[in-house]
Amino acid sequence: MRIGILGAGQMARALGGGWAAAGHEIVVGARTSAAAAAAAAEIGPSARPGTIAEAASFGDATLLAVPVPALDEILTAHREAFADRILIDCTNAFAPDTGGFGLSEPAVAERISASAPGARVVKAFNLLAAEVWAGPNREFEGRPLTVALCGDDAAAVAAVAGLAEDLKLRPVPAGGLSRARYLEATAAFVVGLWFAGHDARAMFPPLESAFAVPDDSEGLPMSRE
Ligand SMILES: NC(=O)c1ccc[n+]([C@@H]2O[C@H](COP(=O)([O-])OP(=O)(O)OC[C@H]3O[C@@H](n4cnc5c(N)ncnc54)[C@H](OP(=O)(O)O)[C@@H]3O)[C@@H](O)[C@H]2O)c1
């Protein structure tokens, strides 16, 4: 796949590096050519540097790897380029590094979708740190590392699921874009726990111990509300 990445920071490098290693062609767009060149060099030989505009109009899918406050400017400037494009939203509306664990807005992915008509928005990869996405561990305590995906466009969700598999992750389609706000709130909640030194994982028993799971191996359909 051809993937444009907006932003040249930690998430751009973590996800872009994995996708480049899996054979995808990448244009990484940044505000300065030096930042784009440094990120592309780190991502790998199948990545090349570009401007934000070049990355926004490159290929089949675009990763938004910028801070939430940057989205307005980017969505306004590149709205037309995003029409019909898969937009992968990994953003979080909180800033843990500066001690902020409250969301500055409740539903970023839905706002992106409303601001970019025709874009096929998929929320994904916001829950874990860039170091985890870039790291070697894909199983913890026998459980495969899983990435939840929320989006309304089934083909776009399937494409991003494929990109998750390319990172050796287990994708789980987790409902429509209206559920992305819960994924965003979960990130703020869980990251707050981790930063406070608590083991958030210990709050979640394995599926078989969570409650009475239906015998039907298909389970119940995922809610879209
Ligand atoms: N880091 C993580 O572990 C992690 C995990 C999950 C989700 N996220 C989310 O992923 C997103 C990116 O995080 P990150 O850690 O990769 O951030 P980062 O390392 O700080 O990189 C952010 C990138 O966005 C660029 N940028 C900032 N404002 C911009 C604007 N107005 N127009 C264009 N580009 C702009 C920055 O460019 P300059 O250098 O020019 O400022 C930089 O290249 C954030 O929304 C964050 O909440 C991060």
User: How much is the pLDDT for 115?
Assistant: 97
The domain locations on the chain are: 2-203
Q: Which of 141, 214, 146, 159 is nearest to 186 (CA)?
A: 146
Predicted local confidence at residue 204, as pLDDT: 93
Which residues does 5 contact at the CB level (< 8 Å), separation at least 6? 12, 15, 16, 26, 27, 28, 29, 39, 55, 62, 63, 65
Atom in ligand 1 nearest the alpha carbon of residue 125: 6
Q: Using a 6 Å cutoff on CB, does residue 11 contact ligand 1?
A: yes
pLDDT tens-place string over residues 43-93: 999 999 999 999 999 989 999 999 999 999 999 999 999 999 999 999 999
Residue 214 has pLDDT above 70, yes or no: no
**Nearest alpha carbon, ligand 1 atom 28:** 70
The amino acid present at 173, given as its one-letter code, is: P
CA distance 114 to 118: 9
CB 78 within 8 A of CB 57: yes
User: Does residue 225 or residue 152 have the better pLDDT?
Assistant: 152
pLDDT higher than threshold 70 for residue 223 = yes
Q: Is the pLDDT of residue 96 over 90?
A: no
Q: From residue 136, how far is each of 132, 133, 157, 170 by CA, in Å?
A: 8, 8, 24, 14
Is residue 218 scored above 70 in pLDDT?
Answer: no
How far is the centre of ligand 1, averaged over its atoms, from the C-alpha of 8 (Å)?
Answer: 7
pLDDT score recorded for residue 120:
98
Best CATH choice for the domain 2-203 from the list 1.10.3720.10, 3.40.50.850, 3.30.2130.10, 3.40.50.720: 3.40.50.720
pLDDT at 119: 98
Nearest CA to ligand 1 atom 41: 31
d(CA 38, CA 144): 32
pLDDT (mean) for 100-125: 97
Question: How far is Cα 91 from Cα 152, in angstroms, rounded to an integer?
Answer: 18
Q: What is the pLDDT of residue 213?
A: 64
In tens, the pLDDT along 144-171 reads 999 999 999 999 999 999 999 999 999 9
Measured from the CB, is residue 185 less than 6 Å from ligand 1?
no
Number of other residues whose CB lies within 10 A of the CB of residue 143: 12
User: What are the angstrom distances between the C-alpha of 58 and each of 15, 108, 112?
Assistant: 17, 23, 18
Q: Per the structure block, which two tokens stand in for 155? A: 């083909």
Average pLDDT, the chain: 95
Question: How large is the average pLDDT for residues 205-222?
Answer: 75
- Among 172, 60, 58, 54, residue whose Cα is nearest residue 120: 60
Residue 100: its pLDDT value, please?
Answer: 87
Longest CA–CA span in the chain (Å) reads 56
What's the DSSP call for residue 196?
A: T
| Res 98 pLDDT > 90 | no
Mean pLDDT along residues 21-33: 98
* Distance separating the N- and C-terminal Cα atoms of the chain: 30
Among 127, 171, 178, residue whose Cα is nearest residue 149: 171
Give the model's confidence band at 212: pLDDT under 50 very low, under 70 low, under 90 confident, else very high.
Answer: low
Give mean pLDDT, residues 7-14: 98
